[in-house]
Amino acid sequence: MDEIVKLLFELASIERLLLLTCIDEEPKRLSDISKELEITTPEVYRQLNRLTAQKIVDKTADGLYEITLYGRLVLQSLTLFKFLTKHRDYLLNHDLTVIPAEFIHRLGELNECEIISGVYRIITIQEKYMSETESRLWTMSRQIFHLVFPVLEKFSGKSVDIRLILPKSIIETQQFKKLKQSGSHFVRFLDKVDIVLGVLDNAGGICFPSLEGNIDMSYMIGCANPISYKWLTDLHSHYWKKAETIH
């Protein structure tokens, strides 16, 4: 624990984080770092020495300062803290612990995502992407949304990757009976569904429950860049493997 405290203390400095950002892409000389950051050379030297002592930074034989492999791993781990601080207000009111721990550890991959607010705005975005999707429809929800049916009709007879995850409690409902008319080979079931998740061709989104346990459809984390999109597809795949088929 002492080593963790020391590491966090060294990272708890705007100047030292700026230094790491400055040499992240390529090694640089002390004078060049000082000029680029507009910080005095003695101060840059002092801060680099602190980072060197923690083995985050190293000095090459040519006199250049570079981030060590260990340092790069440390920097990558900060993406999680970036996500947590960026969306602190949302996280105070929504329970993300309902997803597996491995995906909580990977939340930094959602840094470029947007939290979209407003039920009408979210529905509008969902309608747009669902109308444009051509090859993939992956969803997970407590109910069958009406938007799914026109997409399934559009996909009828085509080779499309459809995967719907639903709670077992929905099997006897009229919604599910209507869905079965399209065939139910692409549906799997879980005992309990705690999130709403959608993955289309190139984008997707996820809604988490409020602290009361109700899935909050007025806020959606939209994932459109490749890194967050992969996080979303990996999460859906995790649940898809756990879900059961019922005939």
| 113/124 Cα distance (integer angstroms) | 18
85 token code pair: 């601080």
Residues 109 and 184 in one domain: yes
User: What confidence category does residue 10 fall into, taking pLDDT thresholds of 50, 70 and 90?
Assistant: confident
Asked, for residue 160, whether it belongs to a domain, the answer is yes
**Which pLDDT band holds residue 25 (cuts at 50, 70, 90)?**
confident
* 7 and 72, same domain (yes or no): yes
The total number of structural domains in the chain stands at 2
Residue 82 located in a structural domain: no
Residue 13 is part of a domain; what is its CATH number?
A: 1.10.10.10
What is the DSSP secondary structure assignment for residue 141, as one 8-state letter? -
Give every CB contact of residue 106 below 8 A, 6+ residues apart in sequence.
Answer: 80, 231
**Which residue in the block uniquely carries the two structure tokens 């963790």?**
4
In this structure, is residue 40 part of a structural domain? yes
Q: What is the mean pLDDT of the chain?
A: 89
Structural domain includes residue 247: no
Domain with 186 in it: 87-242
Contact between residue 44 and residue 34 where contact means Cβ atoms under 8 Å apart: yes
Residue 190: exposure state from Cβ atoms within 10 A (0-12, 13-18, ≥19): middle
Residue type, 216: D
97 plus 128 within the same structural domain? yes
User: Which pLDDT score is estimated for 126?
Assistant: 85
Apex 153 CA angle, 147 and 155, nearest 5:
105
pLDDT value for 161: 87
**What is the CATH classification number for the domain harbouring 201?**
3.30.870.10
Backbone φ and ψ for 151, nearest 5 degrees, come out as -70, -40
Q: What is the pLDDT of residues 130-156, one digit of tens each?
A: 888 888 989 999 988 777 777 777 777
Q: Is residue 51 situated within a structural domain? A: yes
* Tokens (6 digits) for 133: 């999707």
Rounded-to-integer distance, Cα 33 and Cα 51, Å: 14
Q: Please tell me whether residues 122 and 216 are part of one structural domain.
A: yes
Which residue is it, tokens 């139910």?
A: 184
Residues 67 and 91 in one domain: no
The answer to whether residues 200 and 233 touch, using CB atoms and an 8 Å cutoff, is no
Give the gyration radius of the chain's Cα atoms: 24
Pairing of strands 187-190, 161-167: parallel
Q: Is this model's pTM higher than 0.85 or not?
A: no
Rounded to whole angstroms, the Cα distance separating 141 from 193 reads 6
Residue 180, phi then psi, degrees to nearest 5 = -65, -20
- Whether residues 137 and 37 share a domain: the answer is no
- Please tell me the predicted confidence (pLDDT) of residue 62: 92
